Chain A
Amino acid sequence: MGASITVEYVKKALPSGLIKWSSIGLIVGLALVIFSATMDMQRLAFSSLLGYMFVMSIAMGALFFIALDHITGSIWSTPFRRIAEILTNAIWLAPIMAAPILYNIFLEMGGHGMFDMYHWTHDAVVAADPFLSQKAPYLNESSFIFRTVLIWVLMIIFKFILVGNSYKQDKTFNHKTNKVNAAFSAIFMAVFAVSITLTAIDFMMSLEPHWFSTIFGIYYFAGTFACIVAMITLIAVNFNEKGLMIEGINKDHYYSLGGWMFAFTTFWMYIAFSQFMLIWYANIPEETFWYMPRMEGTWAYLSIALIFIKFLVPFGLSIQRPSKTNPKRLKLVAMWIIGAHIYDIWWVSYPTYSHLKETHSPFFGWQELGFVLFAISAVFFVFAIAAKNKNIVPIGDAKMERAINFHL
């Protein structure tokens, strides 16, 4: 089998702005995070939820993108797979992002939590609530921490297998690696489906432990995949304009990236609306109470804004065919979708914070902005560090030659 160089690629230095701006963002963000930690740990934990869910979206979504590329044998996505592979390093950030939440849950095991966040962590409440006592075998502090750490470990293992093989392939040019990776990708798909569902349920859905929604894992997944494709698009388009990518990336590759963003913007709305409509129609108090605070007062406007931010604007911006091949439009849509995903996480989790504060008004201040800035900068920073000595495209991949000649 052909173990030979099939494509020409010259590694170029990363743009200097990337590391500069991401480290500035990281320092400013970290300062804000530390400052908010000294003021209000509870609010820090809630804002760290935004950072954690975003980072998990990037890390798990990137692995999913890689596995999808291997398992389907896609041609167009191969040049962008390396960007996803480098982005999987975001998994190292997950423990940092989750630290305030996990620390509090760890303290709750001894019955002395620093602040109130997850209702089910209070033993007295659980004992008095038949609902929560039924759920207690799943929803308790130790199993929560166990699951979280297990998911990290699984992700790291698959990161080493899938990404490590791909790095090796850059030197060996061994085409058999593709087959090995495809086999591991198939296993990963099953692991991923469970992991992302449990992440969504544990961290976001259990904020309201009485609530039921079987579609919630897919809801988070829809946002996740839109977010990771947007992230890859943002980096790939920028790099390609600076000539860091390989020769041969054309508008058909762009079209495919834009098509994914468009598709998953729509898919998110489909899932979000399905969840809403079924709950609205069945009208069962155990389910509707989740939507009630989101449809009152300021939250009602923010919920309507969610439809615009997460669906109508990116949908309108990328529905036309030329807009999916226009690099300027792609970058705009990509940044918009990343922001919209964080807004979505905020919309899901923050009504609980308002509830704990016994108010109906939403909370969004420098604490949240600081943590989001910290998380985004950290992802870019980790990306820049990891990408320093790596090729930006998987040059050893068997599909590369066909990939750069890709046409729709």
Chain B
Amino acid sequence: MIKENLYAISALFDTPDSIMKAADNISTEYKRFDVNTPYPVHGMDDAMKLTPSRIGYFTISIGLFCMSFMLYFMYWSNSVDYPQVIGGKPFFAFPAYVPIMFEITILTGAVLSVAMMISVLFKFPNNAHPLHDSGYMKAVSSDKYGIYVEAKDSNFDYSKLEKQFKELGASSVSPIYYDEEEVDWKPNTWDPKFVIGTIGIAILTSFSVYMHMNKVLFMVPFDWMMNQERADYGETSEFFADGYSMRVAPVGTIARGFIPYQYDSPDSASKYMTNPTVASEHNLELGQRKFLTYCSPCHGNMAEGASRLKGNMPPGPDLRTEFYQNFTDGRFYHTITKGKGIMAGYESQITREERWAIINYIRTLQKAFGTPVVKTEEEIAENSETKTEASE
């Protein structure tokens, strides 16, 4: 035996005018009531004395929040994490972001408002409501105009309301019952229908995605992105006289940001190059990091020449000795760039700035551990002269 509780009293009306009158009348006395009509009736908000909805504020806040997040994300991905020049535009190409910001505002505002409505107001996953499957709902979703007052309303009185509805011209008045079991009903995740349905959708989706990605895209009208009227690398060109599809860059062209290394001997490098960096804390940290990565396997962690290679390669020399203290920065630079003897050049592994940082770091190690170089007074004088010249 199902225990039935009274949910509401409902009344059906035949015309939009009568439902307006009823809503106007009922709204003066009752709070927990609602109107159901087959289509939106103009002026119903006023008749029901509804205050303007505040959902707009929620939607705009969530939309603007997501928009700012999107703006930050585009800024971060395009100008911080992976800056790339696209079409000669700046990294932070604001005009190009505007359409995305606009779309994101609308999309998130709309979707999250609906999601919030379903989860907060409708108490998802509960999908039962006492009005479901009632004669009242059938009538108002075809051709009748319905109004109901919930039994929870503080002024609720069945017989009084019945009389009131009749006076307002209701064509029928009926109670709506519900059983607790039905309202408390929760969907079962392992319901065979649900499981089979989910698996069915998964299979269908996988199949269509597979067909699309592997078959359809390679069929004739849809493969226009893949087979384009353009030359691939290594292809013979019928257009250019020399037969090459890949064009040779004009003489003297260099890649963006690339500066060629122009010294061919340690002496010229030593003569013409000076260290452009300052041995700052940051610079030395960089130098240490790169030294430990690239130099220390052969030269040792402290540049002492103690190799970790255990005889597989001849150990690098101790870089702290007087011989190396007398090396100019330019000579060091040339050695790192081009290599020396068995040492390979590190031009492609270590950037220019990092090379200078390593040299600064080696100098620091020399000052800390190396044999002090006794300079003659003339040399000191000469040094100070060049310094004053430089400062001038």
| Residues of chain A whose beta carbon lies under 8 Å from any beta carbon of chain B | 252, 273, 276-277, 280-281, 283, 319-322, 406-408
Contacts and interface: CB of A to CB of B under 8 A. Distances in A.
A283 B96 CA distance: 13
A240 B95 CA distance: 43
Contacts of A281: 87, 89, 95-96
B372 interface: no
Interface stretch (B2-10, B40-48, B204-212, B272-280): B40-48
B52 interface: yes
Counting contact residues on chain B (CB < 8 A from A), the size range is 10 to 19
A303 to B, nearest CB: 13
Contacts of B88: 283
B56 interface: yes
A401 to B, nearest CB: 15
B95 A407 contact: no
A27 B30 CA distance: 62
Looking at B45, B87, B95, B99, the one whose CB has the most chain A CB atoms below 10 A away is B95
Contacts of B95: 273, 276-277, 280-281
B182 to A, nearest CB: 37
Contacts of A321: 52, 56
Nearest to B20: A407
B98 interface: yes
22 contacts: A252-B43, A273-B95, A273-B98, A276-B95, A277-B95, A277-B98, A277-B99, A281-B87, A281-B89, A281-B95, A281-B96, A283-B87, A319-B60, A320-B56, A321-B52, A321-B56, A322-B52, A406-B42, A407-B42, A407-B43, A408-B43, A408-B45
A280 B99 CA distance: 14
Given A252-B43, A407-B42, 5 more contacts: A273-B98, A281-B89, A283-B87, A319-B60, A407-B46
B19 to A, nearest CB: 13
B98 A408 contact: no
Contacts of A276: 95
Interface string B97-136: 0110000000000000000000000000000000000000
A283 B46 CA distance: 53
Contacts of A407: 42-43, 46
Nearest to B42: A407
A25 B45 CA distance: 44
A73 to B, nearest CB: 15
A408 B44 CA distance: 8
Contacts of B87: 281, 283
B357 to A, nearest CB: 38
Interface in B55-101: 56, 60, 87-89, 95-96, 98-99
A322 B54 CA distance: 11
By Cβ-Cβ distance, the 4 closest A-B pairs, closest first, are A407-B43, A407-B42, A277-B95, A280-B95
B49 to A, nearest CB: 14
A277 B43 CA distance: 42
A283 B60 CA distance: 34
B74 to A, nearest CB: 15
Nearest to B56: A321
A406 B43 CA distance: 8
B249 to A, nearest CB: 23
B37 to A, nearest CB: 14
A408 B98 CA distance: 33
B32 to A, nearest CB: 24
Contacts of B42: 406-408
A279 B98 CA distance: 14
A69 to B, nearest CB: 18
Contacts of A283: 87-88
A408 B56 CA distance: 17
Contacts of A252: 43
